[in-house]
Amino acid sequence: MKFFILLEDVRYVNMMEDYPRMLMIGGTARKSGKTTLICRLLEAFGQHYRIGAVKVALYKDEEDFGRHHPDALPRGALVIREEDAALKKDSGKYLASGAAESWFMAALSDKEPLVLEQIRKIGGRTDLMILESNILRKNIRPGVFVMINNPDRPAKKSAGELAHLVDFTLETGDKAFEDLHQFIGVRDGRWMIKNTNP
Domains present along the chain, CATH in parentheses: 18-193 (3.40.50)
Q: How confident is the model at residue 62 (pLDDT cuts 50, 70, 90)?
A: very high
Higher pLDDT, 11 or 92: 92
- Reported as a single tens digit per residue, the pLDDT across 70-111 is 989 889 999 999 999 888 899 999 999 999 999 999 999 999
Span 122-129, average pLDDT:
96
Q: How confident is the model at residue 12 (pLDDT cuts 50, 70, 90)?
A: very low
- pLDDT beyond 50 at 9: no
Higher pLDDT, 14 or 85: 85
- pLDDT score recorded for residue 11: 44
Span 121-134, average pLDDT:
96
What letter represents residue 76's amino acid? Answer: G
- Reported as a single tens digit per residue, the pLDDT across 151-183 is 989 888 888 889 999 999 999 988 888 889 889
- pLDDT score recorded for residue 185: 95
Higher pLDDT, 195 or 48: 48
Q: How confident is the model at residue 31 (pLDDT cuts 50, 70, 90)?
A: confident
Tell me which of 3-17, 34-48, 85-99, 117-131 is least confident.
Answer: 3-17
